[in-house]
């Protein structure tokens, strides 16, 4: 697992890049729904805030509740792995939702041009 500091940096970079793409698309793609792109940027900000808040969490058990230190460390590691996995899954789902909303805001002509570019 990455450190909390690195994880927070990655979240900020991903959200910043997504917001930048929205702003660039809103500025340079004619016919794009600018208001919908603004809403997507707000959604990205909410996603970032949620993810950053959830990076910090703690294990709610103490060493005294386990037979030995090895059992405690194993339970603690498992807890953090599951919590981290859940955070990553929820963040990835949020990113997928944002990308879908970004694509929805594109005009039909741009969507078709994007498909042709991918297939070429």
Q: If the chain, 120 residues long, is cut into consecutive pieces of 10 residues, what is the mean pLDDT of each piece? A: 84 97 94 94 97 90 90 92 92 96 91 86
Query: How high is the pLDDT of residue 91?
Result: 96
Tokens of 37: 């792109």
C-alpha count within 13 angstroms, C-beta hemisphere, residue 73: 3
Query: How high is the pLDDT of residue 90?
Result: 96
User: CA–CA separation, 102 vs 40, rounded Å?
Assistant: 7
Query: How high is the pLDDT of residue 120?
Result: 81
Query: How high is the pLDDT of residue 37?
Result: 95
SS3 content of the chain, % helix, strand, coil (to 5): 80, 0, 20
């Amino acid at each position: 697992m990455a450190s909390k500091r690195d994880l927070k940096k990655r979240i900020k970079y991903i959200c910043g890049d997504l917001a930048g793409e929205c702003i660039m698309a809103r500025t340079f793609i004619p016919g794009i729904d600018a208001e919908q792109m603004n809403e997507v940027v707000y959604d990205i900000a909410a996603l970032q805030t949620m993810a950053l808040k959830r990076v910090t969490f703690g294990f709610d058990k103490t060493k005294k509740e386990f037979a030995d230190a090895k059992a405690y460390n194993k339970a603690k590691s498992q807890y953090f792995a599951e919590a981290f996995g859940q955070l990553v899954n929820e963040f990835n789902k949020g990113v997928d939702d944002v990308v879908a909303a970004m694509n929805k805001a594109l005009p039909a002509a741009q969507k078709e041009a994007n498909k042709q570019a991918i297939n070429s």
